[in-house]
Protein backbone atom coordinates (compact mmCIF):
# COMPACT_ATOMS: atom_id res chain seq x y z
CA UNK A 1 0.00 0.00 0.00
CA UNK A 2 1.01 3.64 -0.42
CA UNK A 3 1.90 5.53 2.73
CA UNK A 4 0.37 8.91 1.99
CA UNK A 5 1.03 11.96 4.15
CA UNK A 6 -2.36 11.56 5.82
CA UNK A 7 -1.74 7.92 6.70
CA UNK A 8 1.72 8.71 8.09
CA UNK A 9 0.30 11.47 10.29
CA UNK A 10 -2.40 9.08 11.51
CA UNK A 11 0.22 6.43 12.37
CA UNK A 12 2.18 8.99 14.39
CA UNK A 13 -0.91 10.23 16.26
CA UNK A 14 -2.03 6.68 17.07
CA UNK A 15 1.46 5.68 18.23
CA UNK A 16 1.58 8.66 20.59
CA UNK A 17 -1.93 8.04 21.97
CA UNK A 18 -1.35 4.31 22.55
CA UNK A 19 2.06 4.81 24.16
CA UNK A 20 0.73 7.66 26.30
CA UNK A 21 -2.10 5.44 27.55
CA UNK A 22 0.27 2.56 28.31
CA UNK A 23 2.65 4.66 30.39
CA UNK A 24 -0.20 6.49 32.13
CA UNK A 25 -2.06 3.38 33.29
CA UNK A 26 0.36 0.46 32.83
CA UNK A 27 -1.91 -1.09 30.20
CA UNK A 28 -3.64 -0.24 26.96
CA UNK A 29 -1.19 0.01 24.06
CA UNK A 30 -2.71 -2.72 21.90
CA UNK A 31 -6.36 -1.94 22.66
CA UNK A 32 -5.80 1.65 21.53
CA UNK A 33 -3.29 1.06 18.72
CA UNK A 34 -4.82 -1.86 16.81
CA UNK A 35 -8.37 -0.50 16.33
CA UNK A 36 -7.15 2.99 15.39
CA UNK A 37 -4.47 1.74 12.96
CA UNK A 38 -7.09 -0.46 11.31
CA UNK A 39 -8.92 2.67 10.18
CA UNK A 40 -6.39 2.95 7.32
CA UNK A 41 -4.26 -0.20 7.56
CA UNK A 42 -5.14 -3.91 7.38
CA UNK A 43 -6.10 -5.36 10.76
CA UNK A 44 -3.31 -7.95 10.64
CA UNK A 45 -0.73 -5.20 10.06
CA UNK A 46 -2.09 -3.28 13.02
CA UNK A 47 -1.80 -6.36 15.22
CA UNK A 48 1.83 -6.94 14.22
CA UNK A 49 2.73 -3.28 14.82
CA UNK A 50 0.96 -3.28 18.20
CA UNK A 51 2.94 -6.33 19.28
CA UNK A 52 6.29 -4.91 18.18
CA UNK A 53 5.82 -1.39 19.55
CA UNK A 54 3.79 -2.46 22.56
CA UNK A 55 6.58 -4.72 23.77
CA UNK A 56 9.03 -1.82 23.56
CA UNK A 57 6.82 0.44 25.69
CA UNK A 58 7.08 -1.90 28.66
CA UNK A 59 10.86 -1.54 29.04
CA UNK A 60 10.97 1.90 30.78
CA UNK A 61 8.20 0.87 33.18
CA UNK A 62 9.97 -2.40 34.00
CA UNK A 63 13.17 -0.50 34.77
CA UNK A 64 11.26 1.92 37.02
CA UNK A 65 9.41 -0.91 38.81
CA UNK A 66 12.20 -3.51 38.83
CA UNK A 67 12.20 -3.81 42.65
CA UNK A 68 8.50 -4.72 42.64
CA UNK A 69 8.58 -7.60 40.12
CA UNK A 70 7.06 -10.84 41.41
CA UNK A 71 8.83 -13.44 39.29
CA UNK A 72 6.92 -16.58 40.25
CA UNK A 73 3.49 -15.47 38.87
CA UNK A 74 5.19 -13.93 35.83
CA UNK A 75 6.92 -17.21 34.93
CA UNK A 76 3.75 -19.28 35.47
CA UNK A 77 1.78 -16.91 33.22
CA UNK A 78 4.43 -16.93 30.48
CA UNK A 79 4.82 -20.71 30.44
CA UNK A 80 1.04 -21.13 30.34
CA UNK A 81 0.86 -18.65 27.46
CA UNK A 82 3.22 -20.61 25.15
CA UNK A 83 0.66 -23.06 23.68
CA UNK A 84 -1.86 -20.22 23.44
CA UNK A 85 0.62 -18.11 21.47
CA UNK A 86 1.11 -20.89 18.92
CA UNK A 87 -2.66 -21.29 18.54
CA UNK A 88 -3.28 -17.55 18.30
CA UNK A 89 -0.59 -16.98 15.66
CA UNK A 90 -1.97 -19.82 13.54
CA UNK A 91 -5.46 -18.33 13.75
CA UNK A 92 -4.13 -14.89 12.78
CA UNK A 93 -2.39 -16.29 9.70
CA UNK A 94 -5.28 -18.52 8.59
CA UNK A 95 -8.50 -16.75 9.63
CA UNK A 96 -10.03 -13.92 7.52
CA UNK A 97 -9.22 -10.40 8.74
CA UNK A 98 -12.91 -9.57 9.27
CA UNK A 99 -13.24 -12.41 11.77
CA UNK A 100 -10.16 -11.19 13.65
CA UNK A 101 -11.62 -7.67 13.77
CA UNK A 102 -14.93 -8.98 15.07
CA UNK A 103 -13.31 -11.08 17.80
CA UNK A 104 -11.12 -8.19 18.90
CA UNK A 105 -14.18 -5.93 18.98
CA UNK A 106 -15.99 -8.36 21.28
CA UNK A 107 -12.94 -8.57 23.56
CA UNK A 108 -12.68 -4.78 23.80
CA UNK A 109 -16.39 -4.38 24.52
CA UNK A 110 -16.18 -7.04 27.24
CA UNK A 111 -13.07 -5.40 28.72
CA UNK A 112 -14.66 -1.94 28.69
CA UNK A 113 -17.84 -3.16 30.39
CA UNK A 114 -15.87 -5.26 32.89
CA UNK A 115 -13.71 -2.34 33.97
CA UNK A 116 -16.51 0.24 33.99
CA UNK A 117 -18.54 -2.10 36.21
CA UNK A 118 -16.00 -2.71 38.98
CA UNK A 119 -12.94 -4.35 37.40
CA UNK A 120 -13.05 -7.48 39.54
CA UNK A 121 -13.94 -11.07 38.75
CA UNK A 122 -15.99 -13.07 41.29
CA UNK A 123 -14.02 -14.44 44.23
CA UNK A 124 -15.49 -17.86 43.43
CA UNK A 125 -13.29 -17.94 40.32
CA UNK A 126 -10.14 -17.95 42.44
CA UNK A 127 -8.32 -21.27 42.14
CA UNK A 128 -4.94 -22.91 41.71
CA UNK A 129 -5.43 -23.19 37.96
CA UNK A 130 -6.54 -19.58 37.42
CA UNK A 131 -3.04 -18.33 36.55
CA UNK A 132 -2.56 -21.09 33.96
CA UNK A 133 -5.98 -20.53 32.38
CA UNK A 134 -5.43 -16.76 32.23
CA UNK A 135 -1.92 -17.23 30.82
CA UNK A 136 -3.16 -19.56 28.06
CA UNK A 137 -6.05 -17.26 27.14
CA UNK A 138 -3.79 -14.22 27.17
CA UNK A 139 -1.30 -15.97 24.88
CA UNK A 140 -4.01 -17.03 22.41
CA UNK A 141 -5.82 -13.70 22.42
CA UNK A 142 -2.59 -11.69 22.38
CA UNK A 143 -1.09 -13.56 19.43
CA UNK A 144 -4.31 -13.40 17.40
CA UNK A 145 -5.45 -9.85 18.22
CA UNK A 146 -2.54 -8.22 20.16
CA UNK A 147 -4.96 -7.61 23.06
CA UNK A 148 -3.23 -9.83 25.60
CA UNK A 149 -4.32 -7.74 28.56
CA UNK A 150 -7.91 -8.72 29.52
CA UNK A 151 -7.15 -12.18 30.99
CA UNK A 152 -4.14 -10.76 32.86
CA UNK A 153 -6.22 -7.89 34.23
CA UNK A 154 -8.82 -10.39 35.43
CA UNK A 155 -6.08 -12.43 37.10
CA UNK A 156 -4.38 -9.48 38.80
CA UNK A 157 -7.75 -8.17 40.09
CA UNK A 158 -7.87 -11.19 42.43
CA UNK A 159 -4.38 -10.73 43.85
CA UNK A 160 -3.44 -8.90 47.03
CA UNK A 161 -0.74 -6.88 45.27
CA UNK A 162 -0.21 -3.15 45.48
CA UNK A 163 -0.37 -0.95 42.37
CA UNK A 164 3.37 -1.08 41.74
CA UNK A 165 3.53 -4.87 41.97
CA UNK A 166 0.53 -5.21 39.66
CA UNK A 167 2.06 -2.89 37.06
CA UNK A 168 5.42 -4.65 37.33
CA UNK A 169 3.94 -8.13 36.83
CA UNK A 170 1.80 -7.02 33.90
CA UNK A 171 4.59 -5.21 32.06
CA UNK A 172 7.19 -7.96 32.51
CA UNK A 173 4.64 -10.49 31.30
CA UNK A 174 3.73 -8.36 28.26
CA UNK A 175 7.40 -7.94 27.33
CA UNK A 176 8.21 -11.64 27.62
CA UNK A 177 5.08 -12.55 25.71
CA UNK A 178 6.02 -10.14 22.91
CA UNK A 179 9.52 -11.64 22.73
CA UNK A 180 7.94 -15.06 22.16
CA UNK A 181 5.25 -13.83 19.75
CA UNK A 182 7.59 -11.92 17.42
CA UNK A 183 9.54 -14.96 16.10
CA UNK A 184 6.27 -16.91 15.86
CA UNK A 185 4.85 -14.10 13.72
CA UNK A 186 8.00 -14.23 11.59
CA UNK A 187 7.56 -17.97 11.05
CA UNK A 188 3.97 -17.39 9.91
CA UNK A 189 4.91 -14.56 7.53
CA UNK A 190 3.07 -11.88 9.54
CA UNK A 191 6.01 -9.47 9.90
CA UNK A 192 5.56 -7.82 6.54
CA UNK A 193 7.36 -4.88 4.91
CA UNK A 194 4.22 -2.82 5.55
CA UNK A 195 4.42 -3.55 9.29
CA UNK A 196 8.11 -2.62 9.35
CA UNK A 197 7.52 0.75 7.67
CA UNK A 198 4.66 1.48 10.05
CA UNK A 199 6.85 0.70 13.06
CA UNK A 200 9.59 2.97 11.73
CA UNK A 201 7.20 5.93 11.50
CA UNK A 202 5.63 5.12 14.86
CA UNK A 203 8.80 4.64 16.93
CA UNK A 204 9.70 8.30 17.72
CA UNK A 205 6.12 9.06 18.75
CA UNK A 206 5.97 5.96 20.91
CA UNK A 207 8.97 7.36 22.81
CA UNK A 208 7.41 10.82 23.20
CA UNK A 209 4.12 9.27 24.36
CA UNK A 210 5.93 7.24 27.00
CA UNK A 211 7.61 10.32 28.49
CA UNK A 212 4.41 12.38 28.48
CA UNK A 213 2.33 9.55 29.97
CA UNK A 214 4.78 8.90 32.80
CA UNK A 215 4.93 12.62 33.59
CA UNK A 216 1.13 12.95 33.66
CA UNK A 217 0.84 9.75 35.71
CA UNK A 218 2.92 11.42 38.41
CA UNK A 219 0.88 14.65 38.30
CA UNK A 220 -2.49 12.84 38.37
CA UNK A 221 -1.55 10.05 40.77
CA UNK A 222 -4.54 10.99 42.98
CA UNK A 223 -7.00 10.95 40.07
CA UNK A 224 -6.03 7.74 38.31
CA UNK A 225 -9.42 6.12 38.90
CA UNK A 226 -11.14 8.81 36.82
CA UNK A 227 -8.47 8.56 34.11
CA UNK A 228 -8.89 4.80 33.93
CA UNK A 229 -12.66 5.09 33.58
CA UNK A 230 -12.24 7.54 30.69
CA UNK A 231 -9.77 5.19 28.99
CA UNK A 232 -12.02 2.14 29.40
CA UNK A 233 -15.01 4.07 28.06
CA UNK A 234 -12.83 4.77 25.01
CA UNK A 235 -11.93 1.06 24.79
CA UNK A 236 -15.63 0.21 24.80
CA UNK A 237 -16.27 2.59 21.89
CA UNK A 238 -13.29 1.19 19.97
CA UNK A 239 -14.68 -2.32 20.47
CA UNK A 240 -18.01 -1.24 18.98
CA UNK A 241 -16.09 0.25 16.05
CA UNK A 242 -14.17 -3.00 15.44
CA UNK A 243 -17.40 -5.03 15.48
CA UNK A 244 -18.93 -2.61 12.97
CA UNK A 245 -15.78 -2.87 10.81
CA UNK A 246 -16.10 -6.66 10.79
CA UNK A 247 -19.67 -6.52 9.49
CA UNK A 248 -19.31 -3.47 7.24
CA UNK A 249 -15.69 -3.44 6.05
What does the alpha-carbon distance between residue 189 and residue 48 come to, in Å, rounded to a whole number?
11
Q: Over 90: is that where the pLDDT of 26 sits? A: no
- Tell whether the model's pLDDT for residue 124 goes beyond 90: no
Rounded CA gap, 110 and 24, in Å? Answer: 22
CA distance 101 to 98: 5
DSSP symbol at 1: -
Q: Residues 35, 108: contact at Cβ < 8 Å? A: yes
Asked if residue 13 has pLDDT above 90, the reply is: yes
Q: Tens digits of per-residue pLDDT, 30-82? A: 888 988 998 899 989 999 999 999 888 888 889 988 999 999 999 999 999 99
Q: Coil, helix or strand for 155?
A: helix
Percent of the chain having pLDDT more than 70?
A: 91
Domain residue extents for the chain: 5-247
The pLDDT score that the predictor gives to residue 120 is 66
Handedness of CA 168, 51, 180, 235 (dihedral sign): positive
> For residues 88 and 141, is the Cβ–Cβ distance under 8 A?
yes
H-helix segments, the chain: 5-25, 29-37, 43-64, 71-94, 97-117, 130-145, 149-156, 163-187, 193-219, 224-247
Render pLDDT for 159-176 as a digit per residue (tens, 0 to 9): 888 878 888 898 899 999
- Give the pLDDT band (50/70/90) at residue 224: low
**pLDDT tier at 128 (50, 70, 90 boundaries)?**
low
Mean pLDDT of 95-112: 84
Amino acid sequence: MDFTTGIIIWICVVAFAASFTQSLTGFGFAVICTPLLSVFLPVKTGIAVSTLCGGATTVPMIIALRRHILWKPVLVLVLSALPGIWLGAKLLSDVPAAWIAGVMGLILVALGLFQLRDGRVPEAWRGRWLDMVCGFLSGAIGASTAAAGPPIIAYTSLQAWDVRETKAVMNVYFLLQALVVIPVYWAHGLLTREAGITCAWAAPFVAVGLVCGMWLSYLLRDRMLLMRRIIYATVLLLGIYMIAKAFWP
